[in-house]
Homo-oligomer: A and B are copies of this chain.
Amino acid sequence: MNSSEFRRRGKEMVDYVANYMDGIESRQVYPDVEPGYLRPLIPAAAPQEPDTFEDIIKDIEKIIMPGVTHWHSPYFFAYFPTASSYPAMLADMLCGAIGCIGFSWAASPACTELETVMMDWLGKMLELPEAFLAGDAGEGGGVIQGSASEATLVALLAARTKVTRRLQAASPELTPAAIMEKLVAYASDQVVATLGTTSCCSFDNLLEVGPLCNKEDVWLHIDAAYAGSAFICPEFRHLLNGVEFADSFNFNPHKWLLVNFDCSAMWVKKRTDLTGAFKLDPVYLKHSHQDSGLITDYRHWQLPLGRRFRSLKMWFVFRMYGVKGLQAYIRKHVQLSHEFESLVRQDPRFEICAQVILGLVCFRLKGSNKLNEALLQRINSAKKIHLVPCQLRDKFVLRFAICSRTVESAHVQLAWEHIRELAATVLSAERGQ
């Protein structure tokens, strides 16, 4: 495909994408297919000669779309949101075209420098303590990771390297295995200190945990994968109080801040804690500025060597929404979750199972787990809306997460009516037994 065909096909794809988004509400949110549906629909091997673009675009509706769970449908209330916005999509097109691999400053200075500055912008939006910002000459700074898991693993490995070196210096007679045996990682049942757990969006008390970690010289990593985006609103910022005690902090703008996946934002107070653990310096990656102290080589901040120009997405989104637009977006989702909460509370057959703080409502029918499992099964079989459950202590609970960028009050109301109808069926089936 040459550039003139790309001009044509690219514009067709832009229209396909816009049509998909415009019409997503009329697509069934959860697909009808059974496991193994796709293999019989396509050839067993790649074609020897090229297919045409027309063939491929036809196959998207025929083969792909019937098997898609539509995460951006306003009837999708499962898991947590995954971000999607037009500015981020535009930025991703540019990112694909530049196609640089930003493992070092020299590999594409703009890729590294925009990331550092965007992480400062975002840190300021969250009112992170100054120590986490890079600024002109800070010791801290931010980096985009692929996922919160990766950020947590990076923090864990950095902490391990740091404490191992401390123990080695203090007790040179210890073998590596003896040191390994002494290491302890403390975690709750959701792992590491968490702001906004996946099950029910609960919050660890950082003001209790933080000073203790600092006193005992324990690395404190805070994961606010979902909830972090809300901290750009002053009324939710108090949930982050205590972050000043942390060594590292991360959350996922790719969940709730309109920056398409992947974009997991991680900050550290001492960048040398990361670069000390991951430093990789073969000759083919050396460049003239690297020992000047002026530059950042992000390959030392992460597990993979390669990295895309992901900060473009942040730049486009932050600028085209503005901080006020992003705050309005968060507030609208929180307001919708409270709207759903109040609908649930008005129906005496139901109960709310955890405090509603952000965009997640955990609820259930008063009654057995079996009853609630039956309700969820009816909901997800009907496929008008899509939910997933969680387990809170011994209770089977339904999660209603405000997800889509385009979800409105009308969708929430319709979803609730639908849930009530199915609940009536389930309850009458139970009474009939």
Contacts and interface: CB of A to CB of B under 8 A. Distances in A.
Interface in A271-304: 282-286, 289, 292, 294-295, 303-304
Nearest to A319: B51
A149 B36 CA distance: 30
A217 interface: no
Contact of A37 (B2, B113, B198): B113
Interface string A226-248: 00000000000000000000000
A325 interface: yes
A186 interface: no
A262 B316 contact: no
A318 to B, nearest CB: 4
A389 interface: yes
A431 interface: no
Interface residues of A, number: 134
Interface in A58-89: 60, 63-72, 79, 82-89
Nearest to A326: B46
B149 A322 contact: no
Interface in A1-56: 1-7, 9-11, 13-18, 20-22, 31, 33-39, 42, 44-51, 53, 55-56
Copies in the complex: 2
A391 B283 contact: yes
Contacts of A294: 35-36
A68 B108 CA distance: 5
B96 A89 contact: yes
A147 B306 contact: yes
Interface stretch (A99-107, A347-355, A408-416): A99-107
Interface string A101-134: 1000111111101101100111011000000000
B320 A68 contact: no
A308 interface: yes
A93 interface: yes
Nearest to A232: B46
Contacts of A390: 282-284
A79 B107 contact: yes
A121 to B, nearest CB: 4
30 contacts: A3-B21, A7-B14, A9-B86, A10-B18, A13-B94, A31-B109, A38-B109, A39-B116, A44-B120, A47-B323, A48-B323, A48-B324, A51-B320, A63-B110, A65-B110, A67-B111, A68-B98, A68-B111, A69-B106, A69-B107, A69-B109, A82-B100, A92-B93, A99-B260, A153-B303, A198-B284, A199-B283, A254-B306, A262-B306, A284-B388
Given A7-B15, A10-B14, A83-B99, 10 more contacts: A13-B93, A44-B120, A45-B124, A68-B109, A69-B107, A71-B98, A88-B96, A147-B303, A175-B181, A177-B178
Which 6 A-B pairs rank lowest in CB-CB distance, beginning with the nearest? A67-B110, A10-B14, A147-B304, A38-B113, A35-B294, A177-B181
